Amino acid sequence: MRASVRPDLPVEPAKGGVEDARVLEERVLVGLPAAGGVVIGPAYVYEREEVYVTERALSLEEVDAELQLLGEALERANRELTKIIEFAQAKLDSDASAIFEMQIMLLNDVELGKALERRIREERKNADFLIHQEFERYKAMLLRTNNPLFSERTADLDDVAQRLLRALQKKRLHANIEGKHVVIADVLTPADTVLFLRNDVLGYATNLGGITSHAAILARSLKVPAVVGAHDATETIRTGDTVILDGQLGRIILHPSPETIAEYRGKIDRIHEIETRLEKLVGLPCVTPDGHKVELSANAEFVNEVEYVLAQGSKGIGLYRTEHLSILEGEFPSEQEQYVAYSSIAQSMYPQSVIIRTFDLGGDKFMVQARKEDNPSLGWRGIRVMLDKPEEFRAQLRAILRASVTGNIKIMFPMISGLAELREARAHFDAAKAELQAQGCPFDDAMEVGIMIEVPSAVLLADVFARAVDFFSIGTNDLVQYLLAVDRNNDLITNLYQEFHPSVIRAIKHVIDTAHAHGKWVGLCGEMGGNPLGTILLLGLGLDEFSMVPSMIPTIKGIIRETRYEDAKNFAEEVLRCHTTAETKRLLASAFRERFPHLASMYILNGAMNT
Ligand code: PEP
Ligand code: MG
Read off the pLDDT band of 213 (50, 70, 90).
low
**Which of 525, 543, 549 most suits a substitution to test ligand 1, by most atoms within 8 Å of the C-beta?**
525
Average pLDDT value for residue range 479-485: 96
Lowest-pLDDT range of 3-17, 81-95, 437-451, 461-475: 3-17
Ligand 2 centroid to 555 CA: how many Å?
A: 24
Determine the 3-state secondary structure of 278 from DSSP.
Answer: helix
What is the structure's pLDDT at 15?
Answer: 39
**Whole-angstrom distance, CA of residue 288 vs CA of residue 545:** 14
Average pLDDT value for residue range 406-420: 97
Atom 9 in ligand 1: residue holding the nearest Cα: 321
**Which of 454, 483, 545 most suits a substitution to test ligand 1, by most atoms within 8 Å of the C-beta?**
454
Ligand 2 centroid to 515 CA: how many Å?
A: 19
Lowest-pLDDT range of 32-36, 358-362, 404-408: 32-36
What is the structure's pLDDT at 44?
Answer: 92
Nearest ligand, measured from the Cα of 523: 1
Of 284 and 95, the one with more pLDDT:
284
- In terms of phi and psi (left: phi > 0; alpha: psi -120 to 50; beta: otherwise), the region of 591 is alpha
Atom of ligand 1 nearest to the CA of 149: 9
Residues with CB under 6 A from ligand 1: 319, 321, 360, 454, 475-478, 525-526
Average pLDDT value for residue range 362-369: 65
Atom 4 in ligand 1: residue holding the nearest Cα: 475
Atom of ligand 1 nearest to the CA of 454: 2
Average pLDDT value for residue range 473-500: 87
Atom of ligand 1 nearest to the CA of 414: 6
Average pLDDT value for residue range 223-248: 90
Share of the chain above pLDDT 70, in %: 86
Atom of ligand 1 nearest to the CA of 473: 5
Average pLDDT value for residue range 122-151: 79
**Whole-angstrom distance, CA of residue 160 vs CA of residue 80:** 11
Helices of type H across 439-526: 456-460, 462-468, 476-484, 502-517
Lowest-pLDDT range of 83-97, 111-125, 405-419, 580-594: 83-97
Atom of ligand 1 nearest to the CA of 478: 2
**Whole-angstrom distance, CA of residue 478 vs CA of residue 474:** 9
Atom 3 in ligand 1: residue holding the nearest Cα: 475
Ligand 2 centroid to 536 CA: how many Å?
A: 23
Nearest ligand, measured from the Cα of 475: 1
Ligand 2 centroid to 321 CA: how many Å?
A: 10
One-letter identity of residue 572: A
Neighbours of ion ligand 2 (CB under 5 A): 454, 475, 478
Indicate if the pLDDT at residue 303 is higher than 80.
Answer: no
Atom 7 in ligand 1: residue holding the nearest Cα: 477
What is the structure's pLDDT at 35?
Answer: 83
Lowest-pLDDT range of 240-249, 258-267, 299-308, 373-382: 299-308
Atom of ligand 1 nearest to the CA of 363: 10
Atom of ligand 1 nearest to the CA of 525: 5
With a CB cutoff of 8 Å and minimum separation 6, the contacts of 424 are 387
Ligand 1 centroid to 547 CA: how many Å?
A: 11
Read off the pLDDT band of 425 (50, 70, 90).
very high
A 10 A CB-CB count for 173 gives 17
Of 268 and 577, the one with more pLDDT:
577
Task: Write down how long the chain is.
Answer: 611
Read off the pLDDT band of 2 (50, 70, 90).
very low
What is the structure's pLDDT at 368?
Answer: 59
Nearest ligand, measured from the Cα of 150: 1
Q: Are strands 32-35 and 226-228 parallel, antiparallel or unpaired?
A: antiparallel
The phi, psi pair for 230, rounded to 5°, reads -95, 35
Ligand 2 centroid to 414 CA: how many Å?
A: 7
What is the structure's pLDDT at 87?
Answer: 74
Most confident of 73-82, 220-229, 445-454: 445-454
Read off the pLDDT band of 506 (50, 70, 90).
very high
User: CA of 585: how far to CAs of 230, 373, 565, in Å?
Assistant: 25, 35, 20
Catalytic residues: 214, 525
Indicate if the pLDDT at residue 312 is higher than 80.
Answer: yes
Indicate if the pLDDT at residue 200 is higher than 70.
Answer: yes
Read off the pLDDT band of 147 (50, 70, 90).
low
Lowest-pLDDT range of 55-64, 316-325, 362-371, 419-428: 362-371
Indicate if the pLDDT at residue 610 is higher than 90.
Answer: no
Spell out the SS3 assignment of 231-276: CCHHHHCCCCCEEEEECCCCEEEECCCHHHHHHHHHHHHHHHHHHH
Most confident of 88-102, 161-175, 521-535, 594-608: 521-535
66 within 8 A of 240, measured Cβ to Cβ: no
Ligand 2 centroid to 291 CA: how many Å?
A: 32
**Whole-angstrom distance, CA of residue 228 vs CA of residue 207:** 6
Indicate if the pLDDT at residue 577 is higher than 90.
Answer: yes
What is the structure's pLDDT at 609?
Answer: 42
Lowest-pLDDT range of 103-117, 289-303, 367-381: 367-381
How much is the mean pLDDT over the chain? 85
Ligand 2 centroid to 568 CA: how many Å?
A: 27
- Rounded to the nearest 5 degrees, what angle is found at the Cα of 596, between the Cα atoms of 590 and 602? 90
What is the structure's pLDDT at 174?
Answer: 54
Indicate if the pLDDT at residue 83 is higher than 70.
Answer: yes
Most confident of 41-50, 192-201, 310-319, 578-587: 578-587
Atom 8 in ligand 1: residue holding the nearest Cα: 477
**Which of 323, 412, 478 most suits a substitution to test ligand 1, by most atoms within 8 Å of the C-beta?**
478
Atom 6 in ligand 1: residue holding the nearest Cα: 475
User: CA of 4: how far to CAs of 9, 230, 322, 415, 494, in Å?
Assistant: 11, 9, 35, 35, 14
Ligand 1 centroid to 61 CA: how many Å?
A: 56
Lowest-pLDDT range of 106-110, 121-125, 508-512, 539-543: 106-110
Read off the pLDDT band of 290 (50, 70, 90).
very high
Which of 579, 398, 373, 360 is closest to 478 using CA atoms?
360
Atom 1 in ligand 1: residue holding the nearest Cα: 475
**Which of 359, 415, 477 most suits a substitution to test ligand 1, by most atoms within 8 Å of the C-beta?**
477
